[in-house]
Amino acid sequence: MMPTSSFLALSLEFRQNTEEERRISVDPRRLATALRFLAVDMVEAAQSGHLGMPLGMADVVTTLCQDFLVFQPQDPYWPDRDRLIFSGGHGSALLYSLLYLLGYARPTLQDLKNFRQLHSPTTGHPEYGTLEGVEMTTGPLGQGFATAVGLCAALVRRHTQDPKTRLPYVYVLVGDGDLMEGVTCETAALAGHLHLGSLIVLLDDNGITIDGSTTLSRSTDITASFLAENWHVCDVKGHQPEDIHRGLQEALADPRPSLIRCKTEIGHGSPNKKGTANIHANPLGEEERCQMQKALDWPYAPFDIPVDVLSAWRALAQRSSTIYQRWPLKPSKKRVSPAVWAALDSLKEEAWNAPIPCATRLSSGRALEVLAPLCPALMGGSADLTVSNGTQASSMEDFTAENPQGRYLHYGVREHGMAAFMNGLALSGDLIPYGGTFLAFSDYMRPAMRLSAIMGLQVLYIFTHDSVAIGEDGPTHQPIEQLMSLRLIPNLYVFRPADAIETYESWICALRRTEGPSALILGRQEMPLIRSRKNDFSCLVQHGGYLLEEDASVRQFTLFATGSEVIIAKEAKKKLNSQGFKGALVSLPCWELFTQQDPDYQRHVLGDTSVRVSIEAGSPIGWERYVGEKGYAFGLSQFGLSGKGKEVLRYFGLTSEAVQEKVCALMEKNR
């Protein structure tokens, strides 16, 4: 349970700050008007972008910054800062206007004028890494909310581990659309369950989405549904600063996560377009801007902010200084990589328990037993398949409301929520999250995985039960297209190790890879060791692919395989050898790494034989890259079948005999 006292202490600080600030501030309505007009002018200049939410939420954002948000534009990566996440990424014009007015180094006024232009940091939707103050990439609705929950959990964990650090609040701006997404329901339940009281969600409660009124598609009692998930919920008038202030104070004082329903009018301030779905994503137009100027008493030219307003905004950016000075504990770094290598570099031979032949999912569990104590940044979890996935090391205690120092999360059957939550854990800069489920259900996680890849976050996905070889559970549980489709996601490394040694090496590669996510694709069936490690501790998986066997430099054939099919290929090669043919066997556990090797190495591995055959128990589309037009790719282009794993493999022709036959036929043909 969150220590309630720290919330009270913090809200007292806010009150003191607020009174001080009130003496120097200009009318908050005027501050909000500046935000509104910057957004109008940006969208007008770009003739593209979204206005409805910036106009509707300008007052809420102003009060939040004026009285509550703790941040430091001069030290944007201050670890103890509050986080502000625009889950409705279409509100980017509001976020950029805000960062400009608060005095962040970028965006400059010129950047605002270049909104949505090629190479401008003021991208269409907020992108992590382009501007300081943009805490994550948003745009796909629901992701910001869900990731904020994970980020909040990580910050709570940090604060509990080291109470000298400040417990930051995570503020999230969401729209009707965010709340309609399933991932929001999954993670709202987790936030309530984990008592994440420092999570404050501000709903742009305007009752409008693109198609029109939310009554077209929604009858949910939002308040009741969040209350049922152990949240605090309150309503505020979203254009009245005093009422917004009251709601935020109430939220800070409550130990539960909070949803503040800000009753707003979409496009507020635009006399003729407010309240309509039309304002959601259209420029205002010159005529309407004129009318809005009159209505809001804003006689200034586009992008012109009067000095008193600009200096008031800049002054309130200093509001957090007293808090900042009290907590300058940690160096603020742009992207913090958890301290993993100090530990792993010292990994000695004896630390790696001797590899034994077993299913790669079990080898992964054994690797974790070694790695978890060495790498305190690892934070595990599974979507209700902990034992099947082998994801909980014995040294990992559960992370719960009562024990936020734990290192293992039971996400429940919430794959999508888990993936988005892990992005938040990674964004904290403290943790390397990993989470497991069956490979067939990776599709449930894909939108959040795509975001880890876009943001370049080190998140590890553990996908077990990786092929039709799982057998009896049948086609719903037998992945076909998943493996290849994961390889399609840019910046995601997909590892499919063949045995205990490759599994361990894949873990090491994934842990070394700080600039993006990795997926480990693991099998359920027993796997013999495909090679011995002996005294050779060089990591072959780091090359992505390598020659496992080569009979002679002039090859008659080359076989390619990954994961559990390496052993099938090995058997096929043995049969071909006994027929007198000479060839090679290539293990290709990580395509992305192999493609990065120098061309000579790649040629050396691929060989120049005209007969190339691959085998992988998944969609074969894509293997042409390695086997060429004259080769052949064994795989599956249809859904699987329920039955014993071995029989299913045989039925689909994924056997060493079939491979042997094919190679012979191709050699004959090419002679």
Ligand X SMILES: Cc1ncc(C[n+]2csc(CCOP(=O)(O)OP(=O)(O)O)c2C)c(N)n1
What are the helix and strand counts (H, E) for the chain?
26, 18
Smaller CB distance to Mg ion: residue 267 or 447? Answer: 267
- For position 90 contacting ligand X by CB under 6 A, the verdict is yes
Residue 69 to residues 5, 72, 317, 340, Cα–Cα distance (Å): 19, 10, 9, 32
- Return the residue of 121, 175, 381, 447 that touches Mg ion, per CB under 5 A: 175
Min CB(516)–ligand X separation in Å: 22
Contact 193, 149 (CB under 8 A): no
Cα-based angle 250, 252, 255 (whole degrees, multiple of 5): 100
- Return the residue of 123, 206, 558, 660 that touches Mg ion, per CB under 5 A: 206
- For position 280 contacting ligand X by CB under 6 A, the verdict is yes
Min CB(536)–ligand X separation in Å: 48
Min CB(439)–ligand X separation in Å: 23
Q: Which does 140 bind (CB under 5 to 8 A by kind): ligand X, Mg ion, none?
A: ligand X
- For position 177 contacting ligand X by CB under 6 A, the verdict is yes
Site for ligand X, residues 604 to 623, rule: CB under 6 A: none
- For position 635 contacting ligand X by CB under 6 A, the verdict is no
CA 649 to the chain's CA centroid? 34
- Return the residue of 127, 176, 288, 565 that touches Mg ion, per CB under 5 A: 176
Q: Give the three-class secondary structure for 649.
A: helix
Site for ligand X, residues 372 to 411, rule: CB under 6 A: none
Min CB(202)–ligand X separation in Å: 12
- For position 52 contacting ligand X by CB under 6 A, the verdict is yes
| Binding segment (CB under 5 A) for Mg ion, from list 171-179, 377-385, 516-524, 543-551 | 171-179
Smaller CB distance to ligand X: residue 273 or 361? Answer: 273
User: What HEC string does 259-296 produce?
Assistant: EEEEECCCCCCCCCCCCCHHHCCCCCCHHHHHHHHHHH
Residue 56 to residues 62, 108, 196, 262, Cα–Cα distance (Å): 12, 23, 27, 10
Distance CA(428)–CA(330), nearest Å, equals: 13
Count of residues that bind ligand X according to CB under 6 A: 18
- For position 175 contacting ligand X by CB under 6 A, the verdict is yes
Smaller CB distance to Mg ion: residue 183 or 445? Answer: 183
- Return the residue of 53, 172, 194, 498 that touches ligand X, per CB under 6 A: 53
- Start-to-end C-alpha separation, the chain: 73
Contact 96, 125 (CB under 8 A): no
- For position 87 contacting ligand X by CB under 6 A, the verdict is no
Catalytic: which of 44, 127, 288, 415? 415
Distance CA(515)–CA(502), nearest Å, equals: 21
- For position 141 contacting ligand X by CB under 6 A, the verdict is yes
| Binding segment (CB under 6 A) for ligand X, from list 159-167, 201-209, 236-244, 391-399 | 201-209
Question: Which residue minimizes CB distance to ligand X?
Answer: 175
Sign of CA dihedral 107, 110, 115, 120: negative
- For position 238 contacting Mg ion by CB under 5 A, the verdict is no
The letter for the amino acid at 83 is R
Contact 62, 32 (CB under 8 A): yes
Contact 413, 386 (CB under 8 A): no
Cβ neighbors of 294 (< 8 A, separation 6 or more) are: none
Contact 135, 104 (CB under 8 A): no
Q: Give the three-class secondary structure for 583.
A: strand
146: number of Cβ within 10 Å: 35
Cβ neighbors of 300 (< 8 A, separation 6 or more) are: 37, 293, 306
Q: Give the three-class secondary structure for 371.
A: helix
On the 0-12 / 13-18 / 19+ scale of CB atoms within 10 A, 60 is: buried
| Binding segment (CB under 5 A) for Mg ion, from list 67-75, 167-175, 361-369, 387-395 | 167-175
The letter for the amino acid at 325 is Q
Distance CA(99)–CA(92), nearest Å, equals: 11
Min CB(53)–ligand X separation in Å: 4
Residue 557's nearest CA partner among 532, 541, 574 is 574
- Return the residue of 10, 65, 134, 266 that touches ligand X, per CB under 6 A: 266
| Binding segment (CB under 6 A) for ligand X, from list 175-183, 294-302, 344-352, 493-501 | 175-183
Smaller CB distance to ligand X: residue 208 or 527? Answer: 208
- Return the residue of 41, 59, 80, 176 that touches ligand X, per CB under 6 A: 176
Smaller CB distance to ligand X: residue 88 or 583? Answer: 88
Q: Is position 415 annotated as part of the catalytic site?
A: yes
Q: Site map for ligand X, 206-235, x if CB under 6 A?
A: x-xxx-------------------------
| Binding segment (CB under 5 A) for Mg ion, from list 198-206, 313-321, 448-456, 486-494 | 198-206
Smaller CB distance to ligand X: residue 282 or 363? Answer: 282
Tell me if the bond preceding 107 is cis, omega within 30° of 0. yes
Min CB(265)–ligand X separation in Å: 10
- For position 197 contacting ligand X by CB under 6 A, the verdict is no
| Binding segment (CB under 6 A) for ligand X, from list 27-35, 69-77, 205-213, 243-251 | 205-213
Q: Which does 280 bind (CB under 5 to 8 A by kind): ligand X, Mg ion, none?
A: ligand X
Min CB(269)–ligand X separation in Å: 14
Residue 573 backbone phi and psi in degrees, to 5: -65, -40
Min CB(401)–ligand X separation in Å: 29
Min CB(57)–ligand X separation in Å: 8
The letter for the amino acid at 109 is L
Smaller CB distance to Mg ion: residue 168 or 175? Answer: 175
Catalog residues that contact Mg ion under the rule CB under 5 A: 175-176, 206, 208
Q: Which positions are catalytic?
A: 415
Catalog residues that contact ligand X under the rule CB under 6 A: 52-53, 88, 90, 139-141, 175-178, 204, 206, 208-210, 266, 280
